[in-house]
Amino acid sequence: MSEGDQIMRGKVYVLGDNIDTDQIIPAEFLNLVPTIPEEYRKLGARALAGLPDEMPPFVTDGNDKSEFSIVVAGRNFGCGSSREHAPICLGAAGINAVVAETYARIFFRNSVATGELYPLESAARLCDVFQTGDEAEIDLDSGIIVRTATGERFELKPLGPVAPVIDAGGIFGYARKTGMIS
């Protein structure tokens, strides 16, 4: 999604409550450096590699991108350690947004700081509504997510003043854009 484009469309990957950073990116991959393009792609290939085996694959073998572009989850998404690799690997895999009931504060802050994805919150328990593989559309301007197959619309909480930081590609992009740094 480019700056100014406030509509996201794509397939949904559904998760439950308490998805921790070890499930998002296992510790064995934390030696990958996101600023090195080859290693950034490897991070994408390992996104959600810590999920239980019974879950459908998020990134299929031999790929570094997922067929999914939206994650829908329950409460406390991104709990656990403070690794900034968690939102980075999801962004590297092609995720534009995570829509959860609530976030661990550090995951939310890291999502904003890196600008990798939009951490959106919904008052509704969408992980009980959506199924993995559903198509969805998110309109950031109106704060709505639509389940395409049924037309069901759900309200999202506004991002408020952090939205321009994410739009700019994270804290450093925002600081450059606003003249805080050159």
Q: Are 49 and 22 in contact (CB under 8 A)?
A: no
pTM: 0.94
Mean pLDDT of 111-139: 97
Please name which of 128, 124, 119, 125 lies closest in space to residue 155, comparing C-alpha atoms.
Answer: 124
What does pLDDT average to over the chain? 95
CA 37 – CA 64 distance, rounded (Å): 12
Instruction: Kindly report the backbone phi and psi dihedral angles of residue 166, in degrees, each rounded to the nearest multiple of 5, phi listed first.
Output: -65, -45
Which pLDDT does position 81 carry in this prediction? 86
Q: How confident is the model at residue 2 (pLDDT cuts 50, 70, 90)?
A: very low
pLDDT: is 82 or 100 the higher one? 100
Yes or no: is domain 7-177 CATH 3.20.19.10?
A: yes
With a CB cutoff of 8 Å and minimum separation 6, the contacts of 110 are 78, 82, 83, 84, 86, 87
Place of tokens 């690794």: 83
pLDDT at residue number 82: 82
State the Cα–Cα distance between residues 16 and 75, nearest whole angstrom.
7
Q: What is the mean pLDDT of residues 69-87?
A: 95
Report residue 157's pLDDT band, with 50, 70 and 90 as the boundaries.
Answer: very high
